[in-house]
Structure 1
Amino acid sequence: MSATKLRPRLVYADAKGQIYDHPDLEMLVRRGSQITPPRPDELIPLPPESELFLLPGRTALGLDPETGQVEDVGETAVAAFVCPGHTLSAQAAYAAAPDAPVLPLFAYGAVGFARDRFYVAATRVDNDPRQVFTGIPRSRIAKGASALLRKFPQNRLVAHLARCALTYCCPAAKNLALGRFEAPLPTSRTCNARCVGCLSLQDPDSGFPSTQNRITFTPRPEEIAQVMAEHGRRESRPIFSFGQGCEGEPLTEAATLAKAVGLFRKDGGRGTVNVNTNGSLPDRVEDLARAGFDSVRVSLNSGDERFYAAYYRPRSYAFGDVREFMARAKAAGLFVSVNLLFFPGVTDTEAEYAALAGLLGDTGADFVQLRNLNLDPELYLRVVGESGARSQAELAACMGLANFMKRLCADCPGLRFGYFNPALPLARPQADS
């Protein structure tokens, strides 16, 4: 059977949590507020290390192929959380009850069943294996974390990251314990935004908890440089990233970051030094570049100021500052990535595409990381509506992830896609004099 004839069946769960495929109804997907069959070319087998989630207060919707009607089976909807490196092109189709609880901070991909396996609507956008832990026992991660704690008993950042690896199972912290790939360097206790989907700090009335605790101290530059040096000793192509899920906005600690990286570079430290940021403080760019940073990754949900503000809820900056930050980082010789929080049926609409393509072209961005927006779909669509940035007509149709990527490549020559911060070939060995 060819891929174009693949028509997966609806997947649902019973009251006991047992997952079944429906004998008659076919898989449906959701793009924004639109419920449609999946596009044949967007379905891939469920990747290893992905998970299936049950969606409380939500019943599964399927397509009756005989009548063409959407049917509510009255059973619990099921979604897929795809493993890192994959971007969703559609979300699970369901009907939500009026009292349905707010979903936790995950992305809820459409999933169906065919040919004795699960299929999801997603695309692999990065082949980097840095967050694949198949075959790595937890005992090996625990051993690596314990070794770091013994070697650096006074380093508070090491203690924090060991807890992240063993308690929260943070992939970045686990990699630090294993001495491979990208090292996380959380530093900031505060933030100048109040993102709706913040991973480390939520309002009590949000309806869902943060997924991890925010760091409670600011590491000393020497502690940070010590972690960098140790990771650089163990990994041949190290990446060092400030701005993690367990902290606020790293630019609020720019002086600490610059001093730490300066110490690392002064001692001959090599590797790619990056900051994951909201890009709110453009005046910090040149200091970071002089200290020895190589790249910046600016998080965005939209290239439209109104929609951006509705999700990020900035406290003391404006979207113009983000645009200026990106342009100044590029002018300073830094590699500029955008951490695009992709939401099918919104991000890939014509109006959103035009705003994003304009921003990327104007600022000369090098790279787009296509990350899934981890948020209850109903909540995000409410944010969209309250922003006033997009009409229902503008959200009625979307181009799909594949066309979105093709068009960006055509309109922004040289732009690359991925999921992770890339290791740069010309990472500087030391701070500029």
Structure 2
Amino acid sequence: MAQHIQPHMVMADSQGNIYDDPDLLMVCRRGAQWGVPRPDELMPLPEESELFLLPGRQAVGLDPESGEIVTSPDVAVAAFAAPAHTLSAHPAYVSADDAPLLPLFAYGAVGFARGRFYICARRVDDDQRQQFRKVPRARIEKNVRELLRRFPKNRLVRHILQNCVMRYDCPAARNFALGRFEAPLPSSRSCNARCVGCISEQDKDSPVAVTPQCRLAFVPTPDELVEVMRFHQSRETVCPVYSFGQGCEGDPLMNPDLLVESVRRFRAEGGHGTVNCNTNASRPEAVARLAEAGFSSIRVSLNSSRPDLYQRYYRPHGYDFADVRRSMEIARRDGLWVSLNLLFFPGITDSEAELASLVELVTHCGVSMIQWRNLNIDPEWYLRLMAGLDDSPSMGLGAFMKRLHRACPWLRFGYFNPYVGDRAQLTAPLPGEAQVPQVHCQDLPDPAGDGTDA
């Protein structure tokens, strides 16, 4: 049904009222390409999504009669998709010279048709773990108060509940308060990458004025971590997941001794479930220790599988992309489920060059899963950061996923860290033992998806 819909341009007036223009069509952007949405990427705006006004940026639409781009005097609007969805295109707009830098969120193209908003996106995970529309806020706050009384001396519990739940409304922290799904285990104050879009701490000379959350202000003890894990296991008895490496901390591999001791104790006391580490994977020797201590999985964050693009965004200190690859190889050889937290950026990630590079990485390093999340960053800022590194055309998220899975059929796609038990059953190839498939550019679809380009 969605393929027959042609959404109108959406914009906002000076009072913040959002409305559509029935005479102009929605235009979206993938890198340097502007065009109408692809027929296979339009979907109704999911519940629990948000709409953002983009200050200093004028909305643009397509005149279907003339085929020309029309710039509106009103403000451009973007959508932030609910968890489990990946945006496949950015909004198209014209920025003023003095347009402020956009905060660190993901910005999706949005239009309006048949009485509802539509976005360019795809649902990539059926898990409902971060849906809260049926959970009363009062229930979460009641649980917070009860847990604070129950664990008055545990600083980690206090941080998760008072800071992450009550201050930032973190979905993982809310789930801990509810006793379900995945428990967050922030543990590290420091990091050896200086990510341009770090959401918890920026350099003093960064143009980012405010981060979405603040960095953890203490290092928890093994006692505090094990107590959180034990308690989560007592409530989530079916598929407990425990994850080091949260948005409110640096990288957990900066303190491997703490992780190893905590998880060894948890396992020795009969602790079960999936123990996961979200990481930049900069320290191969630390990853080997995690596997030996009883971890089940690691999730490695990447903006790109190409070293030059990776370097520009992550700005690593004391490691390089070869270390990241080596960490994944060790993790797979030692029996860990390896996921990539692929920070998808329309127009750069879904390119021919990225596909070939990603197929090689996934095959050679034994990656089991891709988690499709968007890079939270001002789109024009990121494009300037990557200038000169990638000008190949976008094939679109749908085609990119299809071709990647065709080349690497063992890959699982999703959004959240999966429950894989105490120890994962792996089908991904062992490092270096599988031949890397070739990908061919003749599979590229029409850039606009309908034989036209705006």
If the length of structure 1 is used for normalisation, what is the TM-score? Answer: 0.96
Alpha-carbon deviation of 1:124? Answer: 0.1
Whether contact under 8 Å (2:305, 2:361) holds in the other structure is yes
Q: How does 1:242-253 map to 2 (within 5 A)?
A: 242-253=244-255
For residues 338-389 of structure 1, what are the alpha-carbon distances to aligned partners after superposition, in whole Å with 9 as ceiling and x for unaligned? 000000110001111111111111101000000011000011101111xx43
Partner of 1:140: 139
Partner of 1:84: 83
Q: How does 1:174-253 map to 2 (within 5 A)?
A: 174-204=174-204, 205-236=206-237, 237-253=239-255
- Aligned mate of 1:335, from 327, 334, 337: 337
Instruction: Return the alpha-carbon distance in structure 1 between the equivalents of residues 130 and 208 of structure 2.
Output: 29
Q: Secondary structure at the match of 2:373?
A: strand
Q: Secondary structure at the match of 1:273?
A: strand
For residues 80-116 of structure 1, what are the alpha-carbon distances to aligned partners after superposition, in whole Å with 9 as ceiling and x for unaligned? 0000000011111111111000000111100000011
Whether contact under 8 Å (1:87, 1:122) holds in the other structure is yes
Instruction: Return the alpha-carbon distance in structure 2 between the equivalents of residues 349 and 74 of structure 1.
Output: 33
Partner of 2:360: 358
Name the amino acid aligned to 2:24: L
- Aligned mate of 2:371, from 355, 359, 369: 369
Whether contact under 8 Å (1:156, 1:223) holds in the other structure is yes
Alpha-carbon deviation of 1:19? Answer: 0.5
- Aligned mate of 2:294, from 260, 283, 292: 292
Q: Secondary structure at the match of 1:404?
A: helix
Name the amino acid aligned to 1:342: F
Whether contact under 8 Å (2:336, 2:423) holds in the other structure is no
Matched, 1:421 2:417: yes
Whether contact under 8 Å (1:304, 1:389) holds in the other structure is no
Whether contact under 8 Å (1:243, 1:250) holds in the other structure is yes
Partner of 1:113: 112
Q: Secondary structure at the match of 2:255?
A: helix
Partner of 2:51: 52
Q: How does 1:374-385 map to 2 (within 5 A)?
A: 374-385=376-387
Q: Which runs of 5+ in 2 are unaligned?
A: 425-454
For residues 274-306 of structure 1, what are the alpha-carbon distances to aligned partners after superposition, in whole Å with 9 as ceiling and x for unaligned? 000000000112211111100000000111111
Instruction: Return the alpha-carbon distance in structure 1 between the equivalents of residues 44 and 234 of structure 2.
Output: 38
Alpha-carbon deviation of 1:267? Answer: 0.9
Q: Secondary structure at the match of 1:341?
A: strand
Query: Runs ≥4 in structure 1, deviation > 3 angstroms?
Result: 425-428
For residues 373-419 of structure 1, what are the alpha-carbon distances to aligned partners after superposition, in whole Å with 9 as ceiling and x for unaligned? 1000011101111xx432x3x2xx11111110111111112001000
Measured on the aligned residues, the alpha-carbon RMSD in Å equals 1.0
For residues 31-59 of structure 1, what are the alpha-carbon distances to aligned partners after superposition, in whole Å with 9 as ceiling and x for unaligned? 01211001111100000000000000000
Instruction: Return the alpha-carbon distance in structure 2 between the equivalents of residues 360 and 208 of structure 1.
Output: 36
For residues 284-334 of structure 1, what are the alpha-carbon distances to aligned partners after superposition, in whole Å with 9 as ceiling and x for unaligned? 122111111000000001111111010000011000000000000000000
Q: Secondary structure at the match of 1:251?
A: helix
Name the amino acid aligned to 2:293: A
Alpha-carbon deviation of 1:30? Answer: 0.6
Alpha-carbon deviation of 1:426? Answer: 4.7
For residues 196-218 of structure 1, what are the alpha-carbon distances to aligned partners after superposition, in whole Å with 9 as ceiling and x for unaligned? 01010012432331111110111
Name the amino acid aligned to 1:214: R
Q: Secondary structure at the match of 1:410?
A: helix
Partner of 1:309: 311
Instruction: Return the alpha-carbon distance in structure 1 between the equivalents of residues 422 and 409 of structure 2.
Output: 21
If the length of structure 2 is used for normalisation, what is the TM-score? Answer: 0.91
Q: Which runs of 5+ in 1 are unaligned?
A: 429-433
Q: Secondary structure at the match of 1:41?
A: coil
Alpha-carbon deviation of 1:23? Answer: 2.0
Name the amino acid aligned to 1:414: W
Alpha-carbon deviation of 1:172? Answer: 0.5
Partner of 1:431: none
Alpha-carbon deviation of 1:425? Answer: 3.8
Q: How does 1:385-396 map to 2 (within 5 A)?
A: 385=387, 388-390=388-390, 392=391, 394=392
Q: How does 1:24-173 map to 2 (within 5 A)?
A: 24-163=23-162, 164-173=164-173
Whether contact under 8 Å (1:335, 1:366) holds in the other structure is yes
Matched, 1:322 2:318: no
Matched, 1:401 2:394: no
For residues 181-200 of structure 1, what are the alpha-carbon distances to aligned partners after superposition, in whole Å with 9 as ceiling and x for unaligned? 00000000000000001010
Whether contact under 8 Å (1:344, 1:400) holds in the other structure is yes
Name the amino acid aligned to 2:382: Y
Q: Secondary structure at the match of 1:55?
A: strand
Alpha-carbon deviation of 1:427? Answer: 3.9
Instruction: Return the alpha-carbon distance in structure 1 between the equivalents of residues 379 and 265 of structure 2.
Output: 44
Q: Secondary structure at the match of 1:159?
A: helix
Whether contact under 8 Å (1:273, 1:295) holds in the other structure is yes
Instruction: Return the alpha-carbon distance in structure 1 between the equivalents of residues 140 and 386 of structure 2.
Output: 41
